[in-house]
Structure 1
Amino acid sequence: MKKLLTLTLFATVATASAAENCRVINMGFNPAQDSSAVLTSGKAIATYLESKIRGVEVRTTVAQDYQALVEATRSGKLDFAWLSPVSYVQAHDQAGAQVLLKSVRNGGPYYWSAFVVRKDSGIKTLNDLRGKTVAWIDPTSAAGYTFPRALLVSKGINPDTFFSKQTFAGKHDAAVLSLANGTVDAIATFSNNTQGTSGSWTQYLPADKASQLAVVAYTKPIPGDTLSVRSDYQTGCADVVTRVRAAIIGMKSDPAGQGLLKKLYTIDSMIPAKDADYNVVRDAVKASQKK
């Protein structure tokens, strides 16, 4: 009987511990732009989720860079992460992270990468970039590295010998500023359409400065950035995962929620996603590594 009571007590404590672990949610955000702005928006998202899901506490952090967000997910420091497409593929293929949702902008669950230049540079085509300087965003940025490099490789261009100098800006807003200030000749960054009217340069620059920039090439569409979950958290805290997923999907029907997503990463809404949606990203990663 004593052994039975001990086992029962142990099971009760274990259950309580598991419930506590599920109650506290650690959520990480992608440092695609100014980290302080992302952190403010992330905290607002956390407060929103706490208001919709009774009994949870959402703790937020902004990773130093894309790879750090993947590592924090892999090591179990984060339960949920707002991952870029390439970062999601890494987190899934290396650590089993699962995609829950993907972002929608301008009516579609995808965006593009664009090579952007100053209009007065005389650069009109991709070939005109030969011998010029370029700023990428991050080695694990889909729009800021992987897809534009894959585009060049598909045209028989070796990016490592094509440009006179390559640098990493770290964030899209920093890249836009470096281009506008004349520090580099071109940048690879995200675009929300293929008309040149909406992208990082229109988000992070005043209209008069944005109008001085132009797109010379677009990549193929990129599936939207993700909200993903650590696999063992999804297994052990399935009910919380379901509630978080539903609350974020529901933000599109709530004016307050819509505003929070827009401030976070200019997202219109989040919709269900599956891993197969990101096979095109895996293909681009392989292509971008060719010389």
Structure 2
Amino acid sequence: MKIILIRKGARKIMKNFKKLFLSAALIAGGAIGLAQNPSTVRADYVPEKLSVQFVPSSNAESIESKAKPLEKLLKKELGVPVKVSVSTDYNTIVEAMGSKQVDVGFLPPDAYVLAHKQYNAKVLLQALRYDVKNNKSDELDKSKLVDFYRSQIVVRKDSGIKSLKDLKGKKIAVQDTTSTSGWIYPAVSMYKQGININDKKNKIKTVVVKGHDQGVISVLNKNTDAAFVFQGATRLVKKDTPDINDKVVPIYTTTKIPNDTVTVRGDMSPKWQKKIQKAFKDIAKTKEGHKVISSLYSHEGYTDSKDSNFNILRQYDKTAEKLDK
């Protein structure tokens, strides 16, 4: 049985839940830090043990096994024990950082914006990846590293779906509502062309899948008509389906999206922010470290980042709120 997630109003529900949670924490007297203005929280936290968490872009168990070697590499750079784990979804890791259960998060851009707004999380780095040669294939241009990527809407080549208007009345595989490439950018792009994915008159159904590989597979297997995925997601299933690009093709490619982040909790001390920043950049330059980060999210290295790099995301978020109106 396929579970269809009705997304209309999801953002409002999430916001109301957070407000209720914060109020309850204040009344209970057990989470005073959460009740403070995030921007006024003192940045003096020095970790004795570092907790690093990832979000699944593909099979969660696979991500965790690939990430485990980072524990040893980071411990060597930072001099403290390191625990690596994988979150169930984007919202969970944001809340875990806000409640100080996670020190470092590998957050996609929209999840970072949410973490910064709610808990003053600090972005340290943006990932560098090889650019994609063109919008029609997933072939990489290994002569060019960039700090951005794009989202695509993919369909079966034999589906007859050629444009965004053809998605009316169709079933679309999507990621969590805080996923930039798996929800925000493609949904807003549709909205800007007059198609509100949440408007009942368009008769569009959305199915939440865990990982962009699952989005591609759902289209391949005809479980959904289309999928919101990051550009090049077909590479994730090429091992099992070598001719995937002959069967699943993009009908739309979005504008540039800032790359994934390495983000720390809001009260991390400036000294440790710099240590963590340097550690990830240094690890990425080693043979072993590069192998780990490349296998995880196709990261080829890291570049310093700042909050203003994500203002474009905030603009898209404002438009995304209109989807529920």
Partners of 1:21 and 1:58 lie apart in 2 by: 13
CA RMSD of aligned residues (A): 1.7
The equivalent residue for 2:173 is: 135
1:281 offset after TM fit, Å?
Answer: 0.7
Partners of 1:146 and 1:118 lie apart in 2 by: 22
Partners of 1:68 and 1:260 lie apart in 2 by: 24
Alignment check: 8 A CA contact 1:138 1:171 kept? no
- SS of match in other structure, 1:76: coil
Given the superposition, is the C-alpha separation of residues 48 and 158 from structure 1 closer, same or farther in structure 2, using an over 3 Å criterion?
A: same
Instruction: Please show how residues 99-110 of structure 1 align to structure 2 within 5 Å.
Output: 99-106=123-130, 107-110=145-148
1:290 offset after TM fit, Å?
Answer: 1.4
**Structure 2: 5+ residue stretches without partners:** 1-43, 131-144
Partners of 1:36 and 1:276 lie apart in 2 by: 34
Q: Is residue 119 from structure 1 mapped to residue 157 from structure 2 by the alignment? A: yes
Q: Is residue 204 from structure 1 mapped to residue 237 from structure 2 by the alignment? A: yes
- Point out the more displaced range, 95-104 or 121-130: 121-130
1:188 offset after TM fit, Å?
Answer: 0.5
Q: Is residue 190 from structure 1 mapped to residue 230 from structure 2 by the alignment? A: yes
The equivalent residue for 1:24 is: 49
TM-score, structure 2 as length reference: 0.77
Partners of 1:224 and 1:33 lie apart in 2 by: 17
The equivalent residue for 1:164 is: 204
Task: Choose the corresponding residue for 2:301, options 249, 269, 279.
Answer: 269
The equivalent residue for 2:276 is: 244
Q: Deviations over 1:167-214 (max 9, x none)?
A: 1113212211111111000000001xxxxxxx1112223321343111
Q: Is residue 49 from structure 1 mapped to residue 84 from structure 2 by the alignment? A: no
Partners of 1:82 and 1:163 lie apart in 2 by: 35
- Point out the more displaced range, 247-256 or 169-178: 247-256
**Structure 1: 5+ residue stretches without partners:** 1-18, 192-198
Given the superposition, is the C-alpha separation of residues 182 and 258 from structure 1 closer, same or farther in structure 2, using an over 3 Å criterion?
A: same
Alignment check: 8 A CA contact 1:134 1:163 kept? no
1:163 offset after TM fit, Å?
Answer: 4.4
The equivalent residue for 2:317 is: 285
Task: Choose the corresponding residue for 1:69, options 83, 86, 93.
Answer: 93
The equivalent residue for 1:223 is: 258
Alignment check: 8 A CA contact 1:133 1:164 kept? yes
Partners of 1:208 and 1:143 lie apart in 2 by: 23
Q: Is residue 256 from structure 1 mapped to residue 288 from structure 2 by the alignment? A: yes
Larger Rg: 1
Alignment check: 8 A CA contact 2:51 2:104 kept? yes
Q: Deviations over 1:221-251 (max 9, x none)?
A: 110011000111x22xx43332221121123
- Point out the more displaced range, 19-28 or 104-113: 19-28
Task: Choose the corresponding residue for 1:173, options 213, 229, 238.
Answer: 213
The one-letter code sitting in structure 2 at the alignment partner of 1:94 is Q
TM-score, structure 1 as length reference: 0.86
Partners of 2:283 and 2:245 lie apart in 1 by: 30
The one-letter code sitting in structure 2 at the alignment partner of 1:25 is L
1:252 offset after TM fit, Å?
Answer: 3.7
The equivalent residue for 2:119 is: 95
Alignment check: 8 A CA contact 2:54 2:86 kept? yes
Partners of 2:121 and 2:228 lie apart in 1 by: 27
1:93 offset after TM fit, Å?
Answer: 0.5
